Amino acid sequence: MSERGRRGDRPLRWLVGLVVAAILFVAAVVEPSPGIARYGPFGIFTRAIWLHAFGYAFLSLTLLYALLDTPDGPTVSPLVVPVIVVAYGTLLELVQLLIPYRTFAVGDILADAVGAVAVVAVWAYGRAALSALGFRRS
């Protein structure tokens, strides 16, 4: 893809990240359904924890794509992305303190962090592995 084409899709990348952040905000302030407390896959954690982990993992992925995949190379370190994502998740948890039918939960913040860090780790190690195998960006 030409440099001009890559630069042209930059606003679209940010728009996707903002849409994901907006969806997470709406999910944080609407009244949850009663089924959210049930256990999710593998019977280990509740559905809410799984939704937090995957939702914030997806937000991390969109931010990585917007911030790091540029023709000139990364503009920031990938380590900044989980910090931004967890800060946003923490802010939404604090907003939930003001909503009577929502509760603040440290477990939700931890799930956000796990999702964000997992995506950044896969991104970083995946790029390094592809580089080591001789795959180069064009």
* Half-sphere exposure in the Cβ direction for 84 (13 Å, CA): 18
* Helix pair 80-96, 10-29: axis angle to 10 deg: 30
Average pLDDT, whole number, for the chain? Answer: 86
Whether residue 85 has pLDDT greater than 90: yes
pLDDT band at 6 (very low <50, low <70, confident <90, very high): low
Distances in Å between the alpha carbon of 43 and those of 23, 37, 95, 111, 115?
Answer: 26, 12, 29, 16, 18
How confident is the model over 88-119, as pLDDT tens digits?
999 999 999 999 999 999 999 999 999 999 99
Instruction: Name the β-bridge partners of 39.
Output: 46
Q: What is the pLDDT of residue 35?
A: 62
How large is the average pLDDT for residues 56-84? 86
Long-range contacts of 87-96, Cβ-Cβ distance < 8 Å, separation of 24 or more: 88/21, 88/24, 88/59, 89/24, 89/52, 89/56, 89/113, 92/24, 92/25, 92/28, 93/28, 95/28, 95/29, 96/28, 96/29
How confident is the model over 68-81, as pLDDT tens digits?
766 676 678 888 99
How large is the average pLDDT for residues 41-61? 88
Domain limits, the chain: 3-132
Looking at the chain, list the stretches that DSSP marks H as alpha helix, in order from N- to C-terminal side.
3-8, 10-29, 47-68, 80-96, 106-132
